[in-house]
Amino acid sequence: MTTSLPVGAPSASVMRGIGLMSCAMLLVPMMDTVAKYLTDTLPPLQIALGRFGFQMVFAWLTAAIGPGLAALKAPRLWPHLLRGFFLSGAAACFFTALKTMPVADAIAIFFVEPMILTVLSAVLLRESVGPRRWTAVAVGLVGAMIIIRPGFAAFGATALLPLAAAFLFALYLVTTRRLSGEGSMLSVQFTAGLGGVLLLGGLSLAGTLAGVEDARPLMPNLPAWGLLAIVGGISFFAHGLIVKAFAAAPASVLAPFNYLEIVSATLFGYLVFGDFPDGPTWVGIALIVGSGIYIAHREHRLSRAELAARAARVGPPD
């Protein structure tokens, strides 16, 4: 969703959007922490499959209890399933990285997503991107390289998986922009879950038939089933908060609050696994966060200027 409010949008609505987005960003690393914990006993692909399966279940139950199952229907099924393919691919890459990487380091690399989204928006959506924003993208990628370089030495190609996750998530957001306004929040959640189950289930089956060890599903014990349900529940709830946030406040206002993830990711990673980012990682984080905030600031200024120019062309009412 990329709903933008007018220049004179009520401050209460904007503050509500900021509050919802902040809560969501503080919750998402909790899901990643639980997923990392599960990688000790389950393959990452199966964890991602469980996430989207339970997301579907929670969406179905919410619709059954509330507005009815008709709310799950998307106006166009296949484009919405494509969104789910991109999102589930991102989750599979990210959960695989978490098997060996600290949560905060993986999320820090993933933070290049706004820069990748800027590039894809220019290429795929034909949006205008000026030289200053291209410079911010370059600075953010330098920050990612600072984090990836020692990570590559320590974790090998695994350190590139959060980068792949960021690329797939940016494709998910580009697709979401194209489908903005189509379907209810529950249909968005349900079809994303369905797309994830179809893609990840197919990959798991193909990998199992090919003899790939990490693709072969295992029978979770009762606590693992509970944790998989928690992962799916947090995903459903957090993404619901994000949808509500974007309905209440402009995307350019909310974008910098994505970086609250590093706060809870560092906290949970330290409390559960004893991981804490080192000095070079914090330098990379600072470059990525700074460039991302600059891009958000530019988007906000440009959107306000465009709305003001449009209002001036229309003129005051007679």
Answer positive or negative: Cα dihedral of 75, 76, 79, 85: positive
Q: What percent of the chain has pLDDT over 70?
A: 81
Residues 6+ apart with CB under 8 A from 123: none
Confidence grade of residue 202 (pLDDT, cut at 50, 70, 90): very high
Between residues 105 and 8, which one has the greater pLDDT? 105
pLDDT tens string 186-198:
898 899 999 999 9
Give the pLDDT mean for 113-129.
Answer: 74
Whether the pLDDT of residue 49 is over 90: the answer is yes
pTM summary value: 0.79
Using a 10 angstrom Cβ sphere, with 0-12 exposed, 13-18 middle and 19 or more buried, the burial of residue 125 is exposed
pLDDT at residue 132 in the model = 73
Whether the pLDDT of residue 246 is over 50: the answer is yes
Lowest mean pLDDT among 5-14, 17-26, 191-200: 5-14
pLDDT at residue 57 in the model = 95
pLDDT at residue 302 in the model = 64
Rounded CA separation 209/207 (Å): 5
Whether the pLDDT of residue 253 is over 50: the answer is yes
Q: Which residues of 74-109 are buried (b: 16+ CB within 10 A; e: fewer)?
A: beeeeebbbbbbbbbbbbbbbbbbbbbbbbbbbbbb
Q: Which of 43, 33, 72 is nearest to 56 (CA)?
A: 72
Q: Which of 111, 127, 164 is nearest to 292 (CA)?
A: 111
SS3 314: helix
